[in-house]
Amino acid sequence: MRGGTRDLPAPDSDATGTRGDRRLAARWPALAGMALAAIATTVLLVATVDPWLPNTGLFMGGMDLDVYRNGARHVLAGLPLYTEPVIHGLLYTYTPFSTLMFVPVDLLPDEAGQYIWMGFNLVVLVAVVTLCWRILGYRITGRVVGVSALLSLACVFLEPVRTTLFFGQINLVLMLLVLWDTSRGETSRLRGVGVGIAAGIKLTPAYFVLYYLALRQWRAAAVSTITILTTIAVSWAVLPKDSQHYWTATFFDSTRIADEAHAANQSLRGALTRIIGDPAPTWLWLLLAAAVVAVSMWVVARLHRRGEALLAVTVAGFTAAVVSPFSWSHHWVWFVPLLVWTVHRALTNTWWWLGLVALFGVAGSWAYHFPDRLVVGLYLFPASWIPWDVLVNLYVVAYAVVLVGAAVIAVRPPPDRPRPLTLTEGSQPPIGLSVPEPDAATPVR
């Protein structure tokens, strides 16, 4: 080691100021552990549910992909998009702009299209994990990409990811757009475009306009808003009748999706409906949702100022799912960046490995065989040792725990900046970190 000593980033210096400074240098035991975890979760994924089991197996889905493709076919053929089912008796619920984005998806071959789309989503998943490391301040190297691939295999066992792949959903793509957008430098002129495009396809990412407002990043909020309005204008020019119907009728009708009490609706409104036993009063849902947004945005702003950029955007992603009127379980793919953040913490504090165990316990693709059917996801299990109100609303409960934990991190006293960690000649850095060369820091723009 040249120069006698070198500084390591302070534990809480995950902000933009140190992006590119860290290098992931997990030693062979840590890498072997990640490889074993990836293998174990892959085996669990296949062993718990036969991948070729009709209607349930991982390779026997693709229903939502069919909806995307047939939505594109409807508009190309001049057929109405929202007044009749598109396929499988399902109604189209996405924006008119989404059908324009799904036209290339319709070009996939009918037989192999599902598997091509699944493979594409796996590549997107690796990109998401890699980008999470980048946001945490790590330099992207071959080792980081390799570790990201291992973690991505493990992430497939997370029920929201598994369900996204099974249905052929687009959640991972939307999350990648949001993470790419929020990871850009605050002076970037493109900051806000990714959020705007994601929201143009599916409305939920529009929540990140509030995220930018909470951070007082007015330019990014404005760019996001302008991009969303542009997607509406473009689709209105190309599909005027469908656009008019969507924004005057379909947009206000959440019952088109499913019954609000459906167990897979892991949103605050769904939880209230299941607890009350009747549809939740709109005023009650709006009041509680506003309170959740206010508290979470305060936590997000505090986290961002502390340098916890990845945790901040993850909390915002979870909150978007919670306050949305209807959030299928596969909308909760934000467990992926939470997993990466937890691994990052565990590399220097072994107690965080318990957090990873808890994460997989709550969000894993655990299967249960009822006499007449098979379900995947702990929130669908029978209430035996966990109260039903907790179990059936598991992701909402998990969000509350994450929000409280994030708030604790946000309000704790900051570390002493004048005293960085140092290494003396011959000493070793903590597992998972190596000391950057003097010229290694390269800010992201």
Digit-by-digit pLDDT tens for the chain (445 residues) are 333 333 323 333 333 434 456 766 666 666 777 788 889 999 999 999 999 999 899 999 999 999 999 999 999 999 999 988 999 889 999 999 999 999 999 888 888 999 999 999 999 999 999 999 999 999 998 888 999 999 999 999 999 999 999 999 999 999 999 999 999 988 899 999 999 999 999 999 999 999 999 999 999 999 999 999 999 999 999 999 999 999 998 888 766 777 888 999 999 999 999 999 888 899 999 999 999 999 999 999 999 999 999 999 999 999 999 999 999 999 999 999 999 999 999 888 889 989 999 999 999 999 999 998 999 999 999 988 889 899 999 999 999 999 999 999 999 876 654 443 333 334 444 333 333 444 433 344 3
Domain that holds residue 22: 17-251+262-417
Helices (H), 184-239: 193-201, 207-214, 218-238
- Determine, yes or no, domain membership for 6: no
Burial 229-262 (b: 16+ CB within 10 A, else e): eebbeebbeebeebbebbeeebeeeeeebeebbe
- Determine, yes or no, domain membership for 444: no
φ/ψ of 200, rounded to 5, equals: -65, -30
Q: Residue 265 pairs with which residues in a beta bridge?
A: 328
- Determine, yes or no, domain membership for 1: no
- Determine, yes or no, domain membership for 338: yes
- Determine, yes or no, domain membership for 352: yes
Which pLDDT score is estimated for 443? 41
By CB neighbour count within 10 A (0-12 exposed, 13-18 middle, 19+ buried), where does 20 fall? middle
Contact 300, 316 (CB under 8 A): yes
- Determine, yes or no, domain membership for 212: yes
DSSP string for 27-49: -HHHHHHHHHHHHHHHHHHHHHS
- Determine, yes or no, domain membership for 2: no
Tell me if residue 8 falls in helix, strand or coil.
strand
Can you tell me the distance from the alpha carbon of 32 to that of 38, in angstroms, rounded to the nearest whole number?
10
Can you tell me the distance from the alpha carbon of 274 to that of 287, in angstroms, rounded to the nearest whole number?
18
H helix or E strand, kind and range, residue 423: strand 421-423
CB-based contacts of 184, cutoff 8 Å, min separation 6: 190, 191, 444, 445
Number of domains in the chain: 1
Looking at residue 441, its amino acid is A
Which pLDDT score is estimated for 37? 84
Which pLDDT score is estimated for 241? 94
- Determine, yes or no, domain membership for 12: no
